[in-house]
Chain A
Amino acid sequence: NAGVTQTPKFQVLKTGQSMTLQCAQDMNHEYMSWYRQDPGMGLRLIHYSVGAGITDQGEVPNGYNVSRSTTEDFPLRLLSAAPSQTSVYFCASSRTEVNEKLFFGSGTQLSVL
């Protein structure tokens, strides 16, 4: 099994550009989420989904959109990139949202110039 796959691994954007970070899992997990990691701030939740067709906002949702049309995929869209969105982004999944361990993807290093 591949687990949680994120693409791309690295991305450089100009301010105002849009892009989509891809996340796919092959474990039939119901719960998927996106975190951003900034130095000294740990992992902050952007958006999450408890199943196909269901999404909700996390702690820092502004500037990001998500959708969950299938159980496997949970893309994160940056609508108009800003330098404040320079960060490392991690996608994570778990079997359910309750008392289950999270499996993380390898991350996307995003720089917005």
Chain B
Amino acid sequence: GQQVMQIPQYQHVQEGEDFTTYCNSSTTLSNIQWYKQRPGGHPVFLIQLVKSGEVKKQKRLTFQFGEAKKNSSLHITATQTTDVGTYFCAVYYGQNFVFGPGTRLSVLP
């Protein structure tokens, strides 16, 4: 079956530092999605990437889809305490979405 890996598992940053999480797949993907889950909350959709090499930005968040469509990254510039949470990538496989294990981000004020 489809396997999705994410690194790092945990990341602690000082407020104002940058943060990046990476998502890797063993197979070529049709698309990739990113979700954010705040502590105690539920996953919330952030973005979907479809095209090879695609780059999308949402304020301080930059999402990138690899040229080979096997990996993706989420970069946060100048983190804030509101960025705290777990970031998941999800890929469509078969009839379902397969989620990576997530990267938990802590931001120290």
The CA-CA distance from A98 to B91 in the complex, in Å, is: 11
User: Interface range on chain B: under 10, 10 to 19, 20 to 34, or 35 or more?
Assistant: 20 to 34
B102 to A: closest C-beta gap in Å: 5
Q: Which of A42, A56, A107 sits near B99, CB closer than 8 Å?
A: A42
Q: Min CB distance, B91 to chain A, in Å? A: 11
Interface residues in A, total, Cβ within 8 A? 25
List residues of chain A with CB within 8 A of the CB of B30.
99
User: Which of B90, B92, B99 touches A98 (beta carbons < 8 Å)?
Assistant: B92
Contacts of B100 in A (CB 8 A): 42
B88 touches A99 (CB 8 A): no
Known: A99-B31, A99-B50. A48 touches B96 (CB 8 A): yes
Chain B residues near A (Cβ < 8 Å): 1, 9, 30-31, 33, 35, 41-45, 48, 50, 88, 90, 92, 95-102
Spell out A's residues near B (CB within 8 Å).
33, 35, 40-45, 48, 50, 56, 58-59, 90, 92, 97-99, 101-107
